[in-house]
Amino acid sequence: MFYRVSIYIACLICSLSLRAQFDPPAGQPGSRAIHADSNVFIDWVKDVVVKRGWVEAGNESLGNASYGQESDILGKADLSAVSLGDGGTATLSFNFPIWNGPGPDFAVFENSFSDSFLELAFVEVSSDGEYFVRFPAQSLTQTDVQIESFGSLEAAKLHNLAGKYRGMYGVPFDLDELRNQPDIDVQSITHIRIIDVIGSLDPLLGSFDDEGRLINDPYPTPFPTSGFDLDAVGVIYDTRNLLVPEQNKSAIRCFPQPASDVLYVEFTAPAIIESINVYDLQGKLIYKSNLLVEGKLSLESFPAGSFIVEVSTIDTKIRQVFMKR
């Protein structure tokens, strides 16, 4: 009896310590997933170099993963993807460097058909294409039983791992988490590297999270589609947000920063406004109007946080981040 009670308590402690603590699958309350159609994305991958991994890390005679081609990673997410294979990598570059704006700065898309069949990857960034820093990944999935080829994972047990949502929903990454890392500049990220997680529970083959836990994900997957399937990476902030063209430099100003009840939008040259949209950082449209009375946008109905205001005039469109206190 005592033995059974001890086992019960051990299991309880175990299940408590492995309790989900990160955000849930796309579409559920609190999910940080961002749909590919979201307005927050201003650009997508321009160039890619893929190094395929093995179909099965423990059986190299099966060769490399082969599904998809590099061009499938370019442009907007569309479910066409490249299978990286066990431990395979994709090194991505962009039209403009990515910078650390408020909230997530880019998002990684896999092509999973479900909320629970998840293949995972690490994400690293670089300011020179040579030296990369990894986002601190966390996996709270149990490590006693191997997730099989078509086994299930829970998104809420995964953090800072690409592939935690179904296809067309990007996993957001916030460069702010890496702002104190030496040898990269989070205001100028030129390359992103995606590295397949080898989900084996064999410590000689497997992959570890930031806290030294083995990451359990479907293994083996001895098919041409082995490993993480990289569809796309969407950019939320790049240096174009900072480099306003010379002729527009003082054309619009939003102040104060942070704002409380009112945000003033000031034009230094005559402008005919077509629309004013405000998005939250997940890309959800939360305010829409086609006029601005006395240059004021009332923020009374807005919660505290960061937002993107997008002002479209007849000849230009300007987006600026603002904070409400």
Binding site for Ca ion (CB under 5 A): 72, 78, 80, 100, 105, 174-176, 231-232
3-class state of residue 9 by DSSP: helix
Element (H, E) at 123: strand 121-126
Check: CB of residue 80 under 8 Å from CB of residue 231: yes
CB of 31 to Ca ion, least distance (A): 18
Q: Which is nearer to Ca ion, 57 or 133 (CB)?
A: 133
Please state whether the peptide bond connecting residue 29 to the residue before it is cis, i.e. omega within 30 degrees of 0: no
CB of 164 to Ca ion, least distance (A): 18
CB of 234 to Ca ion, least distance (A): 11
CB of 196 to Ca ion, least distance (A): 16
Q: Which is nearer to Ca ion, 216 or 226 (CB)?
A: 226
Long-range contacts made by residues 261-270, C-beta under 8 angstroms, separation at least 24? 261/298, 261/299, 261/300, 262/296, 262/297, 262/298, 262/299, 263/296, 263/297, 263/299, 263/309, 263/322, 263/324, 264/295, 264/296, 264/297, 265/292, 265/295, 265/296, 265/297, 265/309, 265/311, 266/295, 267/295
Query: Residue 251: how many CB atoms within 10 A of its CB?
Result: 17
CB of 181 to Ca ion, least distance (A): 14
Bridge partners of residue 296, in order along the sequence: 264
CB of 98 to Ca ion, least distance (A): 9
Residue listed under structure tokens 């033995």: 3
Residue of 236, 259, 233 lying closest to 102 (CA atoms) = 236
Query: CA-CA distance, 66 to 59, in Å (whole number)?
Result: 16
Q: Which is nearer to Ca ion, 175 or 318 (CB)?
A: 175
Q: Which is nearer to Ca ion, 215 or 232 (CB)?
A: 232
Q: Which is nearer to Ca ion, 79 or 201 (CB)?
A: 79
CB of 60 to Ca ion, least distance (A): 28
Residue 106, phi then psi, degrees to nearest 5? -160, 170
Q: Which is nearer to Ca ion, 32 or 157 (CB)?
A: 32
CB of 79 to Ca ion, least distance (A): 7
Q: Which is nearer to Ca ion, 76 or 213 (CB)?
A: 76
* CA 131 to each of CA 22, 120, 184, 300: distance values in angstroms, whole numbers, following the listed order: 29, 22, 8, 45
DSSP characters over 15-29: HHHT---S--STTST
Question: Quick one: tokens of 273?
Answer: 């406004």
Q: Which is nearer to Ca ion, 102 or 151 (CB)?
A: 102
Q: Which is nearer to Ca ion, 44 or 54 (CB)?
A: 44
CB of 305 to Ca ion, least distance (A): 13
Check: CB of residue 231 under 8 Å from CB of residue 113: no
Query: CA-CA distance, 136 to 158, in Å (whole number)?
Result: 11
Q: What is the CA radius of gyration of the chain?
A: 22
